């Protein structure tokens, strides 16, 4: 064994002995030891390279180890690493200005957090205090983070083990044309019925008790559910009618993922609060936040905001956000993301759907796409049951393994593969990844009716 081999096995052994991983039965884990990354690729300790079709957790929007972003962090580290949240600081001020310049309407203040969950927690706190109301409406098939409030807001199985969590959360159905909760036959019908359902939910909950409606502008992990045209505008109108705060969770959908700075831009809708994290600085350092409308910010002009974090507006993290936003602008990252979606991913996925009987639906925008796998296109029976684990999840696990064996790191969730590489991935790299997926999908086809 060489010294290098000893170090490698030491890393793995220390991980297994001492690192407690998220969302996992610790005994069942066999983590890849990642040695390095560049652009849209990362590699393990043995030099096996993977094209990153997951952007890790759909956060490395700018790609791995962008030299200008690394340099900006190094420069800031040499100048000033950290300062208490009550001081002002150049990097924090500039990050807040740049982010609010990008945000729609009168959203012109930022409360910085360390990530997405703290953003949704604080957005809800702001909405409750600003309205004097208590309830929060969020959709089934959503994820909003794993802290006590954020997991309560979440509309999927990751919430179950934490119940009862924060009281006052009511879940309702959002639009999902492929599996419509409203038996809708078209996008327009889905939009109209989903809005009527939200109206009905408010009638029975009492609109005067509802502080906020919180939505992922485009639902991420739970299926890349792109709302039909008119839905977000309709939610905006319903919130206005009842004095309810509209919170857009753009933790995954924001910062270019949907080919826009914020997904709401596509429909020209202005929420009252936008939660962000992930793509704001591609996770080079932990950072998130809430972009706050003037009206809600003013609520806390003469009364203190009862919330805070030691690392709110962390200097290094803010410097990385500043650098990242500048790189996006200089390199046309948003435009590239939009083109990748329209010219490469969308058309290529449509071709895959023609070839593979296991593909029931493909959908998405920008660099945010889902392939939904079924056993039967006619009945739309899912390739694996909802929330499957163990043997029941085997077809999906086999598909993921087939991708990895060919050098592609996929993002899978339930019966779906999401195509979510860094926004900076080249068209050729995307085509290379999709060609691997094409081969690997034969594994799923074995379970599908012809
Ligand atoms: C839409 C959405 N909101 C919130 C979160 C939570 O973010 P974090 O993991 O940074 O707390 C996530 C994470 O995946 C997310 O996708």
165-217 pLDDT tens trace: 999 999 999 999 999 999 999 999 999 999 999 999 999 999 999 999 999 99
Strands (E), 94-193: 107-113, 135-139, 169-172
User: Three-state SS across 208-255?
Assistant: HHEEEEEEECCECCCCCECCCCCHHHHHHHHHHHHCCEEEEECCCCCC
Percent of the chain with pLDDT over 70: 98
* Mean pLDDT taken over the chain: 97
Q: Tokens for 180, please give them.
A: 């419509």
Angstrom distance (rounded) from CA 330 to CA 323 = 10
Give the pLDDT of residue 4: 65
Has residue 5 got a pLDDT over 90?
A: no
**Residue to mutate (ligand 1; options 112, 141, 143; most atoms within 8 A of CB):** 143
**Mean pLDDT confidence for 44-57:** 97
Q: What is the DSSP letter of 413?
A: E
Measure 143 CA to ligand 1 centroid, in angstroms.
Answer: 7
**Mean pLDDT confidence for 292-300:** 98
- Measured from the Cβ of residue 10, the count of other Cβ atoms closer than 10 Å reads 10
- Identify which of 174, 304, 287 has the alpha carbon closest to the alpha carbon of residue 228: 174
The contacts of residue 148 (CB under 8 Å, 6+ apart) are 162, 165, 166
**Residue to mutate (ligand 1; options 23, 114, 118, 144; most atoms within 8 A of CB):** 144
Confidence at 8, pLDDT banded by 50, 70, 90: low
Measure 144 CA to ligand 1 centroid, in angstroms.
Answer: 5
Q: Residue 349: exposed, middle, or buried by beta-carbon count in 10 A (0-12, 13-18, 19+)?
A: buried
**Residue to mutate (ligand 1; options 145, 174, 221; most atoms within 8 A of CB):** 145
**Mean pLDDT confidence for 236-255:** 98
Digit-coded pLDDT (tens) for 212-243: 999 999 999 999 999 999 999 999 999 999 99
Residue 143 beta carbon below 6 angstroms from any ligand 1 atom: yes
Angstrom distance (rounded) from CA 255 to CA 278 = 8
> Phi and psi for 364 in degrees, rounded to 5?
155, -170
Give the pLDDT of residue 449: 87
- Measured from the Cβ of residue 79, the count of other Cβ atoms closer than 10 Å reads 12
Angstrom distance (rounded) from CA 187 to CA 173 = 15
Residue 155 beta carbon below 6 angstroms from any ligand 1 atom: no
Give the pLDDT of residue 450: 66
Query: Are residues 441 and 358 in contact, defined by beta-carbon separation less than 8 angstroms?
Result: yes
- DSSP letters along 104-117, please? -TTEEEEEEESSHH
Angstrom distance (rounded) from CA 447 to CA 450 = 9
Q: Tokens for 240, please give them.
A: 């206005």
Angstrom distance (rounded) from CA 192 to CA 337 = 30
């Amino acid at each position: 064994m060489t010294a290098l081999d000893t170090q490698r096995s030491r890393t793995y052994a220390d991980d297994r002995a001492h690192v407690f991983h998220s969302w996992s039965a610790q005994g069942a884990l066999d983590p890849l030891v990642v040695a390095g990354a560049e652009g849209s690729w990362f590699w393990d300790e043995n030099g096996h390279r993977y094209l990153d079709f997951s952007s890790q957790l759909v956060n490395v929007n700018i790609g791995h180890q962008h030299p200008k972003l690394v340099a900006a962090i190094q420069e800031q580290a040499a100048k000033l690493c950290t300062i208490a949240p009550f001081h002002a600081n150049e990097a924090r001020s500039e990050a807040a200005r740049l982010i609010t310049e990008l945000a729609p309407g009168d959203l012109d203040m930022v409360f910085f957090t360390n990530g997405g969950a703290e953003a949704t927690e604080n957005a809800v706190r702001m909405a409750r205090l600003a309205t004097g109301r208590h309830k929060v409406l969020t959709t089934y098939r959503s994820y909003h983070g794993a802290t006590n409030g954020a997991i309560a807001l979440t509309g999927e199985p990751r919430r179950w083990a934490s119940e009862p969590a924060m009281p006052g959360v009511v879940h309702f159905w959002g639009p999902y044309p492929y599996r419509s909760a409203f038996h809708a036959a078209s996008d327009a019908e889905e939009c109209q019925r989903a809005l009527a359902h939200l109206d009905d939910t408010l009638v029975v909950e009492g609109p005067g008790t509802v502080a906020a409606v919180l939505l992922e502008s485009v639902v991420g992990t739970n299926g890349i559910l792109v709302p039909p045209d008119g839905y977000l505008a309709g939610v905006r109108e319903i919130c206005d009618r009842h004095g309810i705060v509209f919170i857009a969770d753009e933790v995954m959908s924001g910062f270019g993922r949907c080919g826009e700075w914020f997904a709401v831009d596509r429909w020209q809708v202005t929420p009252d609060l936008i939660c962000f994290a992930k793509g704001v600085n591609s996770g080079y350092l932990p950072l998130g936040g809430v972009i706050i409308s003037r009206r809600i910010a003013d609520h806390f002009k003469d009364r203190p905001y009862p919330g805070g974090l030691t690392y709110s507006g962390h200097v290094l993290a803010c410097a990385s956000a500043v650098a990242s936003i500048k790189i996006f602008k200089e390199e046309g990252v948003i435009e590239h993301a939009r083109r990748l979606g329209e010219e490469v991913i969308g058309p290529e996925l449509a071709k895959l759907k023609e070839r593979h009987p296991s593909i029931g639906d493909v959908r998405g925008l920008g660099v945010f796409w889902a392939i939904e796998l079924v056993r039967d296109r006619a009945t739309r029976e899912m390739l694996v049951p909802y929330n499957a684990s163990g043997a029941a999840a085997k077809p999906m696990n086999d598909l993921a393994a087939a991708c990895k064996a060919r050098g592609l790191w996929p993002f899978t969730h339930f019966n779906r593969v999401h195509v979510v590489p860094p926004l900076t991935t080249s068209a050729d790299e995307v085509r290379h990844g999709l060609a691997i997926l094409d081969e690997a999908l034969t594994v799923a086809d074995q379970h599908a009716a012809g």
